[in-house]
Each structure stands twice: as structure tokens, then as C-alpha cells.
Structure 1
Amino acid sequence: MCGIVGLFLKKDALRPRLGDMLTDMLITMTDRGPDSAGIAIYGDASEGLKMTVQSDVPETGFAGLEAALGAALGAPVGVAVIDTHAVLTIPADAEAAARAFAADRGLRVMGVGSAMEIFKEVGLPKDVAARFGIRAMAGSHGIGHTRMATESAVTTMGAHPFSTGDDQCLVHNGSLSNHNAMRRVLSEKGFAPQTQNDTEVAACYISSRLAEGANLGEALEGTLEDLDGFFTFVVGTKNGFGVVRDPIACKPAVMAETEDYVAFGSEYRAFANLPGIEAARVWEPEPATVYFWER
């Protein structure tokens, strides 16, 4: 049992409130997953890439990071340290070199993209959100997850969202039965999962389909054919987000839409503090049906 939230803003006037609204939604889902939490925020796009990295020992892992990274890449970079995470701003063509640098320094890459930043850690959702200052973050859309671990250890790398492609990430409630077979298939395609979490397999699957030229809706439809088990997926991309449930749809899910936003929650109470929710169109996503919104 886990909790998922998502919020897609239709109007820019709400952008400064994105983090605040998502934080309230995430905290409401605490009893569905109290062991770890994470949020992906899609904010202003940078001219290059934003790479979010994590360190278990930020005092040493991030010490002198900007100078060392700049020297390694031979280009100006930016470093914004936020608790155990740091958002690195790097040239668009420097992703491979930056990943190699991060690995040598013992930093874990949470996600890469021009607009996406990912923050996730072990702990109660309210504590995780406070550590990273999520309430103060602005953006166009975001997704979040509260985890109750069942199939893998409670670790930072086991927390959601999982990002396996630029500006793309996924959160999941449920369990996949064919994830080991899919690991082999995806590894042969160059999308090898790095953890034992079955959710990362789903994220790699979406990335592989997008890399093959599918759009987000087509990639989500593919999960219904190729991934076995029970699941609700919420996927974020640079331009929007999408939702799909398995054909049985045994995991709870609800959506709300107004003129200002589209919201997703594992339960209706996640919407309690959203502005104008009393006038929203509220519905339960249909089984085996893809929903997605893009700018």
C-alpha cells in the first residue's frame, strides 16, 4: 500500500503555489506509506540540464563540489545544495561526463532534465518535504509518492519517483509479477534498472517506449500489454503527466479537474486543501484507460 499524488496546473498564476499544494497532498497520504517519500517538481527550464544528485554524507560529498565539477567538465556549472540533495546545472552536452563525475564522487543521480528536479528520502512525508523546502517550490506540475515498502528495502534509492529518462519520472502503487523477465528485456535495450524495486522496471519501460518514438499515451498503453500485475502508474514528463491503471484496477485512485488544474490522488482526501475543489469534476479513472494532459 502506497500513496500517490499528482498536480498539473493549467494556469501560470498558480505556479508559485505548486510546492505548497503538493506538500499538503503528500502529507495527507502519510498513512498509506510512512517509510519514505519523494516529489518531482517541474519548474522553469534551464538552458542546459539540471541533474539532481544525492549524498548520504553531504558535508563531505558536496564540499567543493562546484569547483570540482566545473574543472571536470571544463565549463561553468551551478550547484544548489538542498539538504542531502544538490541540483547541478550543467551544459546540455555534458550529461555523460557529469554522471561519471558523480559516480566517482559517490553521488547518486536522482534525475536529469531541463525542467525536472527530484527530491526523495527515507522518513515521514512531512519531514521529507520540510527538509527540502518543497512548500516554497514553484512550477507547472509535479508528482509525489509515499511508500510502504513490500518488495525491497527502505532506502533512498528504493523511494519513488524513479527517473530513467530526461525530464521523465514515474510513481507506482501496486506490484508487478513479471518485473524480473522485463529486467532482462530492458537491459538488452540499454535501459537496465539499477535497483531491485519493480517500480524502476516500469520507469525503464516507459523510457524505452519514449525512446522508440512513442508518445506518452502510447507508452502508457504499452504497460497494459507488457507489464503483468496490479498497478496504478502516474508518469511525469517535461510537458505534462499521465495516469493508467491495470485492467482490474484494485488499487484506489481518484482524479479531479477544474479550469485551473488536474489533480490525482490515491484517495479523495488528498484534494481537501486544493483551491476550488468543491466545484471540481471528480471521477475514478477507468481500468485499462490512459489519461494524460500536456502543455
Structure 2
Amino acid sequence: MCGIVGLHLRNPELYPRLGEMLADMLGEMQDRGADSAGVAVYGDPTWTPAGHGAVSLLELDLPAAEVATAIGTSLGSLVDVRLLDATLLVTAPVTSEALLAAARSAFPDALVAGFGVDLAVLKGVGAPRDLARDWCLAGAQGWQGVGHTRMATESAVTPSGAHPYAVGPEQCLVHNGSFSNHATIRRELRAAGIEFDSENDTEVGARFVAKALADSKDVEVALKELCATFDGFYTLLVSNRDSFAVVRDTIACKPAVIAETDDWVAMASEYRALAGLPGVENARIWEPEPEVVYAWTR
């Protein structure tokens, strides 16, 4: 079934409360997906210090200190690694591309859950409220966050299967629904040189959008092309460092609601996740129309 939440802050005075609000929103979606969850937080100075690249790694059963030594040796720079439930969050005072290359050199079998500047991607198995507590999500700061609660129906319950799928620099995609022609599109993307980490249909959508953005298309064009290419039923939330966008398929059978004030823009699979946001009583609230791309830029 799955649940999506997203929060894009316009008022810098709210940045210190991003994690608190996102944790509450994620918890309200636990009934929609109770087996695993993931979040992406943009701009927390503790998790991702200014000027530092960041890489989130999964499927590494090693102490954080050992991971830091191995990647630091490959990079030739000091590296900080912290274990947050199943995610190893790696940061260093270098570009995210350089850090990513060093991490892949040191641990070629590790799964990269996300990378970029100002971006921490965390995933885990368990009840979303428990994961938010274990991550200390309520203490996070920043200007934007997205989250997903998962009810696995087509693949194993693992951290790697949790959303968001973050396959491009600072890019994240969360998905509620199903793509019916993802196998065909995966073959086409592989023929174009795109590599995949899983057989999950959501990763196909994420790779499709990441390729479009890498080809210098903006997120609205990327999502319009996705709607024209993918069959199925879905609600998608796509974010990068400075933008936040929502789209539904032509049938729009998966639930979604958007709320907007002068201080923030938020979306969720159900209104209950928005009900606790400050000033929501004065928000403009609506259900997104089918195949209409709603996008906001910082």
C-alpha cells in the first residue's frame, strides 16, 4: 500500500523544525506501510556539514571506523562515518562525486542509497515511528525532506528495498503504486548504459528521471515524459536539492493531497499526515489532478 510524505520549507525560521515535522508526518503514514521506511533530509548541518560530500551506504556489515579507514585511504582524506540503523552515512570535505568514487572503490558490493551535497538518505526495516526514533529524525534541520513507509508486495523486506530511490546527485524519488511496463523500460535504459541495483519497478522510474535531469531537462519535463512512457498507477514525489515535485498517473487512483502556505509546501498520501503542520488551518489544500506536474523551487 505504502505512504508518501514530503515537506518543502519556504520560511527559514522553520528550518530547525524540519526533522520534528517530518517525523510526525512519517509516523502518521505507518498504517499504510509498516514493514520498512526511508527518508531524505536536505540541509542538516550535523549529518551533512556545509561543503562536504555525502554518501549513504547499505549492505555493509562492518564497523563504522573500519568503513571510514577504508574509504579515507582510497580518497586520501579524512572521512566521517556514522551508523544510523542500517545506513552508513559517509561524509568528507570533498565533492560528492569524489566521495562516491572512493566508496565504490573501497566497497564495490555495497549498495549506494543516495549521494550529494546537503543530502542524508536513511533507510531501515521496522515500524516507521521506531525508525524515526532510532535515526533521531526529530532533531534534524534543513529546508526539505521526503519520506516513505513501505508495505512490500513484490520484493523482500530489506533496507535496500525501501524508498526513497536516490540514484542521481541530490535526487530522490518516492513512489506509491506500480509500473506495469517497467521491465521493457529497464531493458531500454540498460541498452543506454544505465546500471541497476535491483529489480524493483520504482528504481526504473528513478533511473528514468535521473537520466532526464542529467540530460539537462527540468523536473517538470522529466515527469511529463515519465507519464507518457510508463504504464500503471502511481503517485510520485521527486526532489532534488532545490526542488520538490508531485505527479499522479492518468487514472489517479492512488491517494494524494497537497497543502500550501507562505511558509511551506507539503504533500502526503493522506491528510492526517498534514494535520499537525503549523498554520495548516490557513493552507490551500487540494488533491492533485491526473498527469499534472506540481513543482516548487527553492
TM-score tier, shorter chain, comes to: over 0.9
Q: 1:100 aligns with which of 98, 105, 114?
A: 105
- Corresponding residue for residue 24 of structure 2: 24
Q: Does the aligned pair in 2 maintain the 1:177–1:229 contact within 8 Å?
A: yes
Q: Does the aligned pair in 1 maintain the 2:86–2:123 contact within 8 Å?
A: no
Cα displacement (A) at 1:84 = 2.7
Q: Counterparts of 2:162 and 2:87 in 1: how far apart (Å)?
A: 14
Equivalence map 1:44-83=2 (5 Å): 44=44, 46-55=50-59, 57=61, 60-83=62-85
Residue deviations 1:239-275 (CA, integer Å, cap 9, x gap) = 0210000011000100000110000010111112111
Q: Does the aligned pair in 2 maintain the 1:189–1:208 contact within 8 Å?
A: no
Q: Counterparts of 2:269 and 2:120 in 1: how far apart (Å)?
A: 22
- Name the aligned partner's letter for residue 289 of structure 1: V
Q: 1:182 aligns with which of 166, 182, 185?
A: 185
Q: 1:86 aligns with which of 85, 88, 105?
A: 88
Cα displacement (A) at 1:155 = 1.1
Q: Does the aligned pair in 2 maintain the 1:65–1:79 contact within 8 Å?
A: yes
- Corresponding residue for residue 159 of structure 2: 156
- Corresponding residue for residue 2 of structure 1: 2
Q: Counterparts of 1:55 and 1:130 in 2: how far apart (Å)?
A: 21
Q: Does the aligned pair in 1 maintain the 2:58–2:160 contact within 8 Å?
A: no
Cα displacement (A) at 1:131 = 1.2
* Structure 2 unaligned blocks of 5 or more: none
Q: Does the aligned pair in 1 maintain the 2:84–2:122 contact within 8 Å?
A: no
Cα displacement (A) at 1:205 = 0.5
Q: Does the aligned pair in 2 maintain the 1:174–1:251 contact within 8 Å?
A: yes
Give the secondary-structure state (helix, strand or coil) at the position aligned to 2:65. Answer: coil
* Structure 1 unaligned blocks of 5 or more: none
Equivalence map 1:1-295=2 (5 Å): 1-44=1-44, 46-55=50-59, 57=61, 60-90=62-92, 91-92=94-95, 93-94=97-98, 95-103=100-108, 107-295=110-298
Cα displacement (A) at 1:144 = 0.5
Give the secondary-structure state (helix, strand or coil) at the position aligned to 1:64. Answer: helix
Give the secondary-structure state (helix, strand or coil) at the position aligned to 1:157. Answer: helix
- Name the aligned partner's letter for residue 258 of structure 1: T
| TM-score, length-scaled by structure 2 | 0.93
Residue deviations 1:84-125 (CA, integer Å, cap 9, x gap) = 32221232152223222132xx53321100011111111110
Q: CA RMSD in A?
A: 1.5
* Residues 131 and 107 (structure 1), Cα distance of their counterparts in 2 relative to 1, 3 Å cut: farther
Q: Does the aligned pair in 1 maintain the 2:71–2:102 contact within 8 Å?
A: no
Q: Does the aligned pair in 2 maintain the 1:245–1:288 contact within 8 Å?
A: yes
| TM-score, length-scaled by structure 1 | 0.94
- Name the aligned partner's letter for residue 54 of structure 2: K
- Name the aligned partner's letter for residue 101 of structure 1: A
- Name the aligned partner's letter for residue 11 of structure 2: K
Q: Counterparts of 1:192 and 1:70 in 2: how far apart (Å)?
A: 26
Give the secondary-structure state (helix, strand or coil) at the position aligned to 1:248. Answer: coil
